[in-house]
Chain A
Amino acid sequence: MTAAANADLLHLARRPLFSPRAWLALALCTAALALLPALNLAVPPDHPLHVSSYIVALAGKFMCYALAALALDLVWGYAGILSLGHGLFFALGGYAHGMYLMRAIGRDGVYQSDLPDFMVFLNWKEYPWYWAFTEHFGYAMLLVALVPGVLAFVFGYFAFRSRIKGVYFSIITQALTYAAMLLFFRNDTGFGGNNGFTDFKRILGFDVTAPGTRAALYWITLAFLGGSLVVARLVTQSKLGRVLTAVRDAESRLRFLGYEPLGFKLFVWTLSAVMCGIAGALYVPQVGIINPGEMSTENSIEMVIWVATGGRGTLIGPIVGAGVVNGLKTWFTSVAPEFWLYALGLIFVLVTLFLPQGIVGLVRRLAARLQERKGSARIEEQKA
């Protein structure tokens, strides 16, 4: 057993990214997901295989959530940093993209001005400085990655340097998100106050609401989700990932061994924030609105429960969890909205009490038990 583990460690660098079986499963899932918009566009509505636009939009939204959950799992599942502020990074990415989308409206707004409607409404005469160049799509995309990234880097540097960890870090990220939400709710910050950005018309010249554009956005989201999963897997399978796991399990011991955790934590924290920002940027054109409500404390904690439900530290778990929890949410809010908070609350309690490894952990445990039973059955067979 120990010999095997040692060998495993020695061959760390040469371990495959995924097992062949996992590759196959991933490819099948991706293909199935990719097929959805095609079934919506190409199959006539009365055909049994037709997928409604509602389902496609929903799946696109869920994939954005899944990307955010994946980002959160990188820091929580592997480095043990529980962030209650990923809603902020998500929203910042969304706002950065939203700035471009607002400018792409042009003069088609209600007031037919060069400025977005909310600025006309608030008597702004020109764009504030931080809106500069946002009419260029490329620059806006740069902001999508840079704004959450830089904020996370600066905040993380100060927090990790003074060794704030555990719940303290969680509470501080929550306070940061809360402060940002208060700020964005104000009308004079130039982000549309509590209405946020909405009424988008076009993206890169394409109509945002057209089925074709929506399908393209969906596929792009899927590509980013798959790509991010591979990147996250690369990170966690590398030696760096091993150090991160050590940070999670015994940071003091790691320090005594001569590692400085600051850089490792900072890297994964910033990477996670950027991923989350991208998720937000993909989310905004598909949902058609971004407002400060995305930064509320509730949203960030809900992200955490997606990860916990799916299984932290498994990468695939958060994706599953985001889908399951949000699927339930959609179902409840349409069937019995008054029971949704009970259900969500129960998920929080039950998952933490009975499913510490989440759905993925449960599946693994069941599979292991099945194998064990198979093994013992074979032994008994041999005995007989």
Chain B
Amino acid sequence: MQLAAHTGRLGRRVMGWVLGLAALAACAGALAQDLDPAALAPLASDETDAKLGAIDRLGRLPDPRAAEVLQALGDGQLLATPDGRILVERADGQTVDPLSGQPVAKPGDADNVMINNRLRRAIGAALATSQLYSKQAGERLAAAQRLQQTSDASRLPLVAEAIRRETDPQVRAALEIAQARLQLAADDPALRRAAAEALGATENPAFRSMLAALVQQNADGGYAEPDEGVRSAAQAALRRIDRHMATVEWAGNVFYGISLGSVLLLAALGLAITFGLMGIINMAHGELLMIGAYATYMVQTLFRQWLPPGWLDWYVVAALPVAFVVTGLVGMALERTVIRWLYGRPLETLLATWGISLMLMQTVRTLFGAQNVEVSNPSWMSGGVTVLGGLVLTYNRIAIIVFALLVVFFVWLLLNHTRLGLFVRAITQNRRMADCVGVPTGRIDMLAFGLGSGIAGLAGVALSQLGNVGPDLGRGYIVDSFMVVVLGGVGQLAGTVIAALGLGGVNKFLEPYAGAVMAKITILILIVLFIQKRPQGLFAPRGRSVE
């Protein structure tokens, strides 16, 4: 914002120099039918109508100086002397003559030209066209895009003139669209037809209603558009726009599906280790997510209090190891004190861990209060990138997708390429045999559970960037996480990934038709039905160890 204002000011200054040079070089009359004192004089009058006329004329002048005058008028920076001279007061306090661009002393009797709302509207419209002649391609483009929104047919010659003068292909294209939009009301059917085709080629939904109005059938059976050819062209254009909209919507669903899927994946990944590999029904998994999110909050608070403000943007990165270690330690403590006594009794584990989850929740409530705490996105995560002309991919969602993939890679690496992973897999396959060949099962159990919990903590960091952080944060994810692991097949990392992304995608594609809640219900029912067919999940382990 500040940057934009700054460049704007700079642009104006550059324009001033250019103007000065032009005024020096050109003889009077070289810029014939351009800005002259006669065009400016009415601005000094008290009559609103006279001013309106002058503004309108200024707007049609293909002269960059006219834009400056209009801009100054709109900003209340235009001065008028009682003898009818018009001066521009620049932002730096300098007073210049708009005709010559030369600085002049500010006359003592100069007054700011007053404007009212009617004038302000007229200035806006005039500027839109006037800036078409700006020296800056960016300003010209913006003006052309503003022009695309108007339906004032009297602008047509102006646009045509601007197209004739325009050299920048991008601005030219934008101008042609604006022209097409105005020509939609032209008298010549061939022009209207070409206009409809041009608008269709933009694939811009903003023109949809306009085109749809053409092919609308009136009550008496006639059409708003009398010409058959134009109608069919409009139909084709409509189809094209609709197709593009459908593509954008589809791409949006894919993106949000992947985004939701990556959230589910993060939430379920820790569970894939504790439940999938170790067979522990950890109902406190959601609370481990919550602890990870609160660890993020703590790190953020510490950064705010002790470190220079510039560092605050990176608190999320610092929160990752903190959350991992904190939740990992909580997990290991749980494993050593409670869960280790319950191996082989899954239903009892379920109850005990549920009890633990209640205690963890209440502890957090006591420490931090029952209200949600405020965790803010770092600046590099806010905002987003626009693709396909209308689909906004927010940076925080992109960051979480990337993060989820990194965590999966990390887990895969740990399980398949480290000694700890080897031991964990050995215990999964045959606990007693692993014990016999010297795997320290007790310690590995503790470490593996700590790992699963730590990953839940990492997921908690990600979740804190997406939604509210409160003591109930984990409850919303527990059913979903179990669904992902059960659907993916117990003990299968790949299954978990595919199940999470699949569930996320299906959910987002169902939502437009069924609404968020019904989509969720439908998915739960689909999972229940799916498990009928494949009780072991998508990727069933085969062999005698299954039972």
Contact = CB atoms under 8 A, between A and B. Distances in A.
Given A176-B524, A338-B366, A308 B358 contact: no
Contact of A167 (B347, B361, B527): B347
A162 B533 contact: yes
A310 to B, nearest CB: 14
Interface in A154-174: 155, 158-159, 161-164, 166-168, 170-172, 174
Contact of B352 (A82, A178, A185, A352): A352
A182 B520 CA distance: 8
Interface in A328-384: 338-339, 341-342, 344-349, 351-353, 356
Contacts of B341: 353
Nearest to A347: B355
Given A166-B346, A186-B517, A345-B362, A178 B479 contact: yes
B486 A353 contact: no
A28 interface: no
B524 A346 contact: no
Interface residues of B, number: 41
A167 B282 CA distance: 11
Contacts of A305: 351, 355
Interface in B349-363: 349-352, 354-359, 361-362
A183 B356 CA distance: 29
Given A82-B350, A164-B531, A348 B517 contact: no
Interface in B468-490: 475, 478-479, 482-483, 486
Contacts of B357: 345
Contacts of B535: 162-164, 168
A162 B348 CA distance: 24
Nearest to A162: B532
A179 interface: yes
Nearest to B485: A171
Interface in A171-226: 171-172, 174-176, 178-179, 182-183, 185-186
Contacts of A178: 479, 524
Contacts of A304: 351
A356 B346 CA distance: 13
A252 interface: yes
B342 interface: yes
Nearest to B529: A158
A185 B521 CA distance: 12
A297 interface: yes
A297 B479 contact: yes
Contacts of B366: 338
A246 interface: no
A175 B528 contact: yes
A33 interface: no
Contact of A348 (B358, B479, B483, B532): B358
A158 B532 contact: yes
A168 B531 contact: yes
B525 interface: yes
B281 interface: yes
B547 interface: yes
A183 B357 CA distance: 25
B402 interface: no
A305 B445 CA distance: 27
A63 B203 CA distance: 67
A175 to B, nearest CB: 5
**What 7 A-B pairs come out closest when comparing CB atoms?**
A348-B355, A345-B359, A345-B358, A341-B362, A345-B355, A179-B524, A352-B352
15 contacts: A82-B347, A155-B528, A167-B347, A175-B479, A175-B482, A252-B547, A297-B479, A301-B354, A308-B351, A344-B355, A346-B359, A348-B354, A349-B338, A352-B349, A356-B348
Given A167-B350, A348-B358, A351-B351, 13 more contacts: A172-B486, A172-B531, A174-B482, A178-B479, A179-B520, A182-B517, A301-B354, A304-B351, A342-B359, A345-B357, A346-B359, A347-B355, A352-B352
